[in-house]
Amino acid sequence: MTRDELDKFAEARINGAPLSDAALKKLLAIESEAELEKLYYTARKVRDHFFGNRVFLNCFIYFSTYCRNQCTFCYYNCKNKIKRYRLTRDDIEDICKVLKGAGFHMVDLTMGEDPYFYEEPERFVELVKLVKDELGLPIMISPGVMRNEILLKARANGANFFALYQETYDPELYAKLRVGQSFEGRIEARRFAKEKGYCVEDGLLTGIGNDIDSTVLSLRGMEAHKSDMVRVMTFIPQEGTPFEGQQQNSNLSELKIIAVLRLLFPDRLIPASLDLEGIDGMELRLNAGANIVTSILPPDSELEGVANYDRKLEERDRDIKSVIQRLKTMGMEPASQADFEKFLGA
Ligand code: SAM
Ligand code: MD0
Ligand code: SF4
C-alpha cells in the first residue's frame, strides 16, 4: 500500500468501518519489516487522531503476592514455593506519600487471590478507601474474581477501573492456563463491573498456545464486551511453574497485536507495559499504537511486577521520571489529568 492508501485505511478505522476476520488474519500474518512498519504507522495515525502525542501513566502496586489459584503461566500460583509479601496499611500509607504529586493519572492496586482478603473482603475495600483518601486519584483494582457485592463496595469507596484479563477466548486453551477457574465467571465479573459504572480492562496472553485463528477469536471476544482498556502481553516463562521450560518468545506477536488492537479499538486505552521489556520495550509498544504506560513502580520501590522481565537484573528502570524523559525524546508527553478524567467519564 502507498502512504495515501494507508492514510485512507486509517481514516476508515477512525470512522468505525468494519474489519473482517480475513483482514485481521492477514494483518496478524505480516512478517516483513516494511509491511510491519506500515501496520505500526497506521496504528499510530489512528491513535494520534484520538489522543495526539499524549500518554497516560499508570502506577503499579502489587500489594499482596499470595494467591489461592494455580494459573500455569504465573510465578505467583499457589504451588510455587516462592517468597511472598502482603503490604500493611502503614506500608501503603508510606507509598502514597511518595506518590503524591509524582504525575500518575491512576494507581493500580493488584493482588493474587489472597485468602486474607478473600475471607474478609472489607480489608480490601479499606485499602481502596485509604489510597483514595490519600491521593484522590482514579484507582484501578486488579484483585481477581471477587463477589459482586465487594465490587460494589470498592466502587463506592473510590475504585474506578476493574482489570481482569481473560487471557484467551478459546475455552480449551483457557482451561490449560487458568486451571480450575470458570471461563464464564470471569466474563461475567467484567460485565457486572461495567454495568455498575466501572471502566473495565480485558487482556490476552500471546506466545502460549495461541495461533492466528485463536488470536482472532480472542480479539472478537474482547470486542463483544466493550472494554475500555484492552491489552496483550507476551508470556514470559517463570521459574518453578509448569511452563518454566517454554522458550522465551520474541515481542513480534505482541507488537502486531497491539497495532491490530488499535485498529479494532481506535479510541480505547491500550497499554505499553514496562513489565515485559522495560523502557526500551515501552518505546516499541507506543510506536505500535499503545497510549498508556503501565507497571510504572513507585520511586525506589522493591515491589514486584507480574511477569517481571527484570527479576534478575541489578538495575530497575521502572520509575515515572525515566518514563517521562523517554517520552520527551519520542516527541510525546504525559496527558493532563483532566483528559484522563474525561476518558473515565465518557
Ligand atoms: N490475580 C489477579 C488476576 O489474576 O486477575 C491479578 C493479577 S493479574 C494483573 C496478572 C496478569 O498478568 C495475568 O492476568 C496475565 O495476563 C499476566 N501475567 C501473569 N503471568 C505472566 C507471565 N508469566 N507472562 C506474561 N504475563 C503474565
Ligand atoms: C502491567 N504488571 O501492566 C502490570 C499488570 C495488572 N492490572 C497489570 C499485569 O504490566
Ligand atoms: Fe493468582 Fe492472578 Fe497469578 Fe492466577 S494470574 S496465579 S489468579 S496472581
What mean pLDDT is predicted for residues 251-269?
Answer: 97
Indicate whether 314 pLDDT > 90: no
Nearest to 99, CA basis, from 41, 139, 49, 67: 139
Write the burial class of residue 315 (CB in 10 Å: 0-12 exposed, 13-18 middle, 19+ buried): exposed
Nearest to 203, CA basis, from 225, 180, 175: 225
> Of all protein residues, whose CA lies closest to atom 2 belonging to ligand 3?
112
In this predicted structure, what is the pLDDT of residue 248? 72
In this predicted structure, what is the pLDDT of residue 313? 85
CA gap 242, 78 in Å, rounded: 12
What mean pLDDT is predicted for residues 180-184?
Answer: 98
CA distances from 33 to 30, 38, 39, 106, 254 (A): 9, 9, 10, 35, 15
Q: Residue 22 C-alpha to ligand 1 middle, in angstroms?
A: 30
74 lines ligand 3 (CB under 6 A): yes
CA gap 139, 340 in Å, rounded: 12
290 lines ligand 2 (CB under 6 A): no
Q: Residue 234 C-alpha to ligand 2 middle, in angstroms?
A: 12
Contacts 24+ apart (CB under 8 A), 77-86: 77/241, 80/238, 80/240, 80/241, 81/240, 82/240, 85/304, 86/114, 86/116
Q: Residue 22 C-alpha to ligand 2 middle, in angstroms?
A: 31
DSSP letter for 336, please.
Answer: P
Confidence of residue 27 (pLDDT cuts 50, 70, 90): very high
In this predicted structure, what is the pLDDT of residue 271? 98
What mean pLDDT is predicted for residues 18-47?
Answer: 96
DSSP letter for 311, please.
Answer: T
277 lines ligand 1 (CB under 6 A): no
Confidence of residue 296 (pLDDT cuts 50, 70, 90): very high
CA distances from 113 to 53, 151, 155, 196, 312 (A): 37, 14, 18, 22, 25
203 lines ligand 1 (CB under 6 A): yes
b/e code 192-223 from CB counts within 10 Å (16+ = b): ebbeeebbbbbbbbbbbbbeeebbbbbbebbb
For the chain, list the strands marked E by DSSP. 54-64, 106-111, 139-142, 159-163, 199-206, 229-234, 271-273, 292-296, 333-334
Contact in structure between 222 and 166 (CB atoms under 8 Å): yes
CA gap 15, 17 in Å, rounded: 6
b/e code 89-101 from CB counts within 10 Å (16+ = b): eeebeebbeebee
The CA angle 296-301-302, to the nearest 5 degrees, is 115
What mean pLDDT is predicted for residues 84-106?
Answer: 97
What mean pLDDT is predicted for residues 126-149?
Answer: 98
The CA angle 56-322-280, to the nearest 5 degrees, is 85
Query: How much of the chain exceeds pLDDT 70, in percent?
Result: 100
Mean pLDDT value across the chain: 96
> Of all protein residues, whose CA lies closest to atom 1 belonging to ligand 2?
295
What CATH number does the domain located at 53-345 have? 3.20.20.70
In this predicted structure, what is the pLDDT of residue 227? 97
Query: How much of the chain exceeds pLDDT 90, in percent?
Result: 91
In this predicted structure, what is the pLDDT of residue 346? 77
What mean pLDDT is predicted for residues 34-50?
Answer: 97
In this predicted structure, what is the pLDDT of residue 339? 97
In this predicted structure, what is the pLDDT of residue 332? 98
CA gap 60, 308 in Å, rounded: 12
In this predicted structure, what is the pLDDT of residue 119? 97
Q: Which ligand is nearest to the CA of 304?
A: 2
In this predicted structure, what is the pLDDT of residue 249? 74
CA gap 266, 16 in Å, rounded: 8
In this predicted structure, what is the pLDDT of residue 246? 86
CA gap 137, 163 in Å, rounded: 16
What mean pLDDT is predicted for residues 92-106?
Answer: 97
